[in-house]
Amino acid sequence: MTTTLITGANKGIGHETARQLIAAGHTVYVGARDAERGRRAAEQLGARFVLLDVTDDTTVEAAAKTIEADGGLDVLINNAGIETRGEGNSVPTAETLTADQMRNTFETNVFGVVRVTHAFLPLLQRSAAPVVVNISSGLASLTHLSDPDHPAHFYPGVAYPTSKTAVNMLTVQYAKAFPNMRINSVEPGFTKTDLNGNTGTQTVEQAAEIIVRMAQVAPDGPTGGYFDVNGPLPW
């Protein structure tokens, strides 16, 4: 039985990913910072709940101890993420972005990934087939955002894509450091969720497809890559 932890899994893409992996036979821990919402989601899914706020060392360390006591971990999905939105669902642009907004975004999207990965590395290293899936974004691609012929070029925000580009670098470096693990970044697609004010163009079911696929990658599968549902993406 494969045991999987998904951060930020009480709603949206994380919740749907949990549903699909449970259907595939995984034992899934729903990580959530809100205990009531997390427990409710876990009950609906037939999953296990663990209190986990990726910005808080105490809850992350406690979650690691809980999952270790229950038998360990095979798959970590770093899904929790935020995007700052302002009036009219606007994003801070290069002209308006403040250091505090950037810091707040990185605290969850980047430092959160490091914090959780660090805490669960000992458990993953004991697994026969350890896997880490980092949820990135198509907006992390320097190639696409610098190409005036690509739709992503016109996204005006700074903090969110910068944080996800950093996640891609974490993926590359962790994959090199731990060659026995399969560690990859995935782009779920522009999905209708609370993160973007429900302006996305695809469903959570569609978004979860690539995450579920990479969560089940074989020990001889790709590592240190950046993928969407159609295959590798340019950095």
Catalytic residue ranges: 160, 164
For residue 222, count other CB atoms closer than 10 A to its CB.
Answer: 15
* Structure tokens given for 13: 């893409």
Widest Cα–Cα separation across the chain: 51
Neighbours of 180 (CB within 10 A): 12
Q: Which helix (H) or strand (E) holds 48?
A: strand 48-51
The neighbour count for residue 220, using CB atoms within 10 Å, is 7
- Provide the CA 142 distance to its chain's centre, in angstroms: 19
231: DSSP letter: E
In this structure, the strands spanning 48-51 and 182-186 are unpaired
Reference 37, options 11, 62, 16, 18; nearest CA is: 11
Residue 110 contacts residue 160 (beta carbons within 8 Å)? no
Collect all residues with Cβ–Cβ distance below 8 Å to 103 and sequence separation of at least 6: none
Tell me if 9 sits within 8 A of 17, measured CB to CB. Answer: yes
Q: Which residue has the tokens 């700052």?
A: 84
